[in-house]
Protein backbone atom coordinates (compact mmCIF):
# COMPACT_ATOMS: atom_id res chain seq x y z
CA UNK A 1 0.00 0.00 0.00
CA UNK A 2 2.81 2.45 0.76
CA UNK A 3 4.15 1.83 -2.74
CA UNK A 4 1.04 3.52 -4.08
CA UNK A 5 2.34 6.94 -2.98
CA UNK A 6 5.61 6.35 -4.83
CA UNK A 7 7.56 8.11 -2.10
CA UNK A 8 8.33 7.81 1.59
CA UNK A 9 5.29 8.49 3.77
CA UNK A 10 5.54 8.84 7.56
CA UNK A 11 3.13 6.69 9.54
CA UNK A 12 2.54 5.95 13.22
CA UNK A 13 2.39 2.15 13.27
CA UNK A 14 1.07 0.14 16.20
CA UNK A 15 1.04 -3.56 15.49
CA UNK A 16 1.68 -6.95 17.06
CA UNK A 17 4.12 -7.26 14.14
CA UNK A 18 6.62 -4.93 15.78
CA UNK A 19 9.25 -5.81 13.18
CA UNK A 20 7.08 -3.90 10.69
CA UNK A 21 6.61 -0.85 12.90
CA UNK A 22 9.10 1.42 11.15
CA UNK A 23 7.76 4.97 10.81
CA UNK A 24 8.59 5.10 7.07
CA UNK A 25 10.13 3.14 4.22
CA UNK A 26 13.41 4.31 2.76
CA UNK A 27 13.75 5.82 -0.71
CA UNK A 28 15.82 2.91 -2.11
CA UNK A 29 13.36 0.12 -1.15
CA UNK A 30 10.49 2.18 -2.53
CA UNK A 31 12.33 2.79 -5.81
CA UNK A 32 13.25 -0.89 -6.16
CA UNK A 33 9.72 -2.00 -5.32
CA UNK A 34 8.28 0.28 -7.98
CA UNK A 35 10.89 -0.71 -10.60
CA UNK A 36 10.32 -4.42 -9.97
CA UNK A 37 6.53 -4.10 -9.89
CA UNK A 38 6.29 -5.57 -6.41
CA UNK A 39 2.74 -5.87 -5.16
CA UNK A 40 2.03 -4.87 -1.59
CA UNK A 41 -0.87 -6.02 0.56
CA UNK A 42 -2.32 -4.55 3.75
CA UNK A 43 -3.13 -7.15 6.40
CA UNK A 44 -5.09 -6.69 9.61
CA UNK A 45 -3.92 -7.60 13.08
CA UNK A 46 -6.36 -10.53 13.03
CA UNK A 47 -4.92 -11.78 9.75
CA UNK A 48 -1.36 -11.54 11.10
CA UNK A 49 -2.50 -13.50 14.15
CA UNK A 50 -4.05 -16.16 11.90
CA UNK A 51 -0.81 -16.49 9.95
CA UNK A 52 1.19 -16.68 13.19
CA UNK A 53 -1.12 -19.39 14.58
CA UNK A 54 -1.00 -21.34 11.30
CA UNK A 55 2.80 -21.39 11.36
CA UNK A 56 2.91 -22.42 15.02
CA UNK A 57 0.17 -25.05 14.92
CA UNK A 58 0.56 -26.55 11.44
CA UNK A 59 4.21 -25.94 10.48
CA UNK A 60 5.64 -26.05 14.03
CA UNK A 61 7.47 -22.77 13.41
CA UNK A 62 7.84 -20.16 16.13
CA UNK A 63 8.14 -17.14 13.84
CA UNK A 64 7.60 -13.57 14.93
CA UNK A 65 4.37 -11.85 13.84
CA UNK A 66 6.22 -9.72 11.26
CA UNK A 67 7.63 -12.90 9.77
CA UNK A 68 4.10 -14.27 9.41
CA UNK A 69 2.75 -11.21 7.55
CA UNK A 70 3.42 -12.60 4.06
CA UNK A 71 1.64 -15.84 4.89
CA UNK A 72 -1.17 -13.79 6.45
CA UNK A 73 -1.68 -11.99 3.13
CA UNK A 74 -1.79 -15.32 1.28
CA UNK A 75 -4.21 -16.94 3.73
CA UNK A 76 -6.48 -13.89 3.60
CA UNK A 77 -6.62 -13.99 -0.20
CA UNK A 78 -4.93 -10.61 -0.57
CA UNK A 79 -2.29 -11.68 -3.10
CA UNK A 80 -3.45 -11.81 -6.70
CA UNK A 81 -2.43 -14.28 -9.36
CA UNK A 82 -1.62 -17.24 -7.11
CA UNK A 83 -4.54 -19.52 -7.90
CA UNK A 84 -3.19 -22.83 -9.19
CA UNK A 85 0.43 -21.71 -8.74
CA UNK A 86 3.22 -22.88 -6.52
CA UNK A 87 3.77 -20.06 -4.03
CA UNK A 88 6.51 -19.46 -1.51
CA UNK A 89 6.17 -17.22 1.55
CA UNK A 90 9.36 -16.14 3.28
CA UNK A 91 8.98 -16.71 7.02
CA UNK A 92 11.57 -15.07 9.22
CA UNK A 93 12.45 -14.20 12.77
CA UNK A 94 11.67 -15.79 16.07
CA UNK A 95 12.01 -12.75 18.27
CA UNK A 96 8.55 -12.43 19.77
CA UNK A 97 7.61 -11.29 23.24
CA UNK A 98 6.20 -14.31 25.14
CA UNK A 99 3.15 -12.31 26.26
CA UNK A 100 2.35 -11.30 22.69
CA UNK A 101 2.83 -14.88 21.46
CA UNK A 102 0.60 -16.35 24.17
CA UNK A 103 -2.05 -13.72 23.46
CA UNK A 104 -2.08 -14.63 19.79
CA UNK A 105 -2.08 -18.36 20.47
CA UNK A 106 -4.95 -18.32 22.98
CA UNK A 107 -7.79 -20.40 21.65
CA UNK A 108 -10.37 -18.19 20.03
CA UNK A 109 -13.75 -18.89 21.61
CA UNK A 110 -16.59 -19.40 19.23
CA UNK A 111 -19.65 -17.20 19.74
CA UNK A 112 -21.67 -20.31 20.50
CA UNK A 113 -19.50 -20.80 23.59
CA UNK A 114 -20.40 -17.35 24.99
Per-residue pLDDT of the chain (114 residues; tens, 9 = 90+): 456 777 888 889 889 998 999 998 888 988 898 899 888 889 999 999 999 999 999 999 889 999 999 999 999 999 988 889 999 999 988 888 788 888 888 865 444 454
Tell me, yes or no, whether 114 lies in a domain: no
Q: At what angle do helices 45-58 and 98-105 cross, to 10 degrees?
A: 90
Q: CA–CA separation, 68 vs 47, rounded Å?
A: 9
If you ran DSSP here, which 8-state letter would residue 84 be given?
T
Tell me, yes or no, whether 113 lies in a domain: no
CB 18 within 8 A of CB 65: yes
Domain enclosing residue 57, as ranges: 2-108
Q: CA–CA separation, 20 vs 92, rounded Å?
A: 12
Number of domains in the chain: 1
CATH number at residue 54: 3.40.50.1100
Q: CA–CA separation, 6 vs 16, rounded Å?
A: 26
Amino acid sequence: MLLTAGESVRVTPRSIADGLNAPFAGALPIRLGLELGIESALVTEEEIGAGFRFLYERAKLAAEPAGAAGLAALLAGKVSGVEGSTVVAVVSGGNVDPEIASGILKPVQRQADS
